[in-house]
Amino acid sequence: MAEVVHGGSAEEISLAEVGLRFEVDGEIATITLARPEKRNAQTFATWSALARIGDDLPQQVRVVVVRGEGPSFSAGIDLRMFTPEGVPGQGSFASTATLRGEAFDERIAQAQQGFMWLRRPDIVSIAAVQGHAVGAGFQLALACDLRILADDAKLCMKEPALGLVPDLTGTKPLVDLVGLSRAVEICLTARTVGAEEAARIGLAELVVAPGDLTQAVRDLAAALLATNRDAATATKRLLQGASGRTLEEQCAAERQEQMARIKALFG
């Protein structure tokens, strides 16, 4: 288990300080948002820590579970960001607004790094969502490859209601999963999507009773680990590239990946 993900740096911040836990059990890593008393609200420090977890992920890990402790998966960005005082040591939206050009872009890009790695082809990420997943919480669930929801899950893209846009990598997976019209409707009304609807429109692979969430994630992880590691990575790479390719290009990509597999297995 890694308490501190990055060692030796002056910026070293323990995961506990940012309300995260990180555990590795064989090929499964579990990231837990562990600030239940604040409904696992997230800050820029949360996202930096997530990015460092991704950078330092032990090589043997094949499945990454992202879960939240307590009644909510995550209530989104820490609302102190909207106050003049902000989050101690991390500033506020008002201080971010003073950043210019590249510095502004870099700050948001850094936050996005906390989410982007969850799509890496060599891992499969699973969000285990109970209760509220609001704003950054919904986007964190969308950053994962798969979502298992407890039947009390409530997903809400709150940003437009607060005058902001969803900018933590969530807009593309949302459109990919539910289509443009439904994504527009969900985001621009900032309404809450319940678990049953989420499953119906493609936002969840499975909905279970809250008490069954942990076991359902375990079962899915075990099924994912039953396949060949290199074949799983190559297949995920193929699937991820499919929507950007023509059928002919995809066929060529299949041939190339298969050649590498057959050479590795039988060559």
In the complex, the residues that contact ligand CAA under the rule CB under 6 A are: 38-39, 41, 71-72, 75-79, 132, 134-136, 158-159, 162, 164
Choice between 106 and 249, CB closer to ligand CAA:
106
d(CA 145, CA 180) in angstroms, rounded, equals: 19
Choice between 190 and 253, CB closer to ligand CAA:
190
Closest CA to 111 of 24, 170, 161, 183: 170
Give the pair of three-digit tokens for residue 104. 């502004």
Q: How far is the CB of 247 from ligand CAA (least distance, A)?
A: 38
Q: How far is the CB of 170 from ligand CAA (least distance, A)?
A: 9
CB 187 within 8 A of CB 179: no
Q: How far is the CB of 252 from ligand CAA (least distance, A)?
A: 40
Q: How far is the CB of 264 from ligand CAA (least distance, A)?
A: 43
Choice between 108 and 231, CB closer to ligand CAA:
108
Closest CA to 177 of 245, 81, 87, 243: 243
Closest CA to 77 of 117, 123, 121, 108: 108
Q: How far is the CB of 258 from ligand CAA (least distance, A)?
A: 42
Choice between 28 and 134, CB closer to ligand CAA:
134
Q: How far is CA 127 from CA 79, 112, 123, in A?
A: 23, 17, 13
CB 154 within 8 A of CB 93: no
Neighbours of 51 (CB within 10 A): 20
First-to-final CA distance of the chain: 38
Choice between 30 and 72, CB closer to ligand CAA:
72
Choice between 152 and 205, CB closer to ligand CAA:
152
Q: How far is the CB of 139 from ligand CAA (least distance, A)?
A: 7
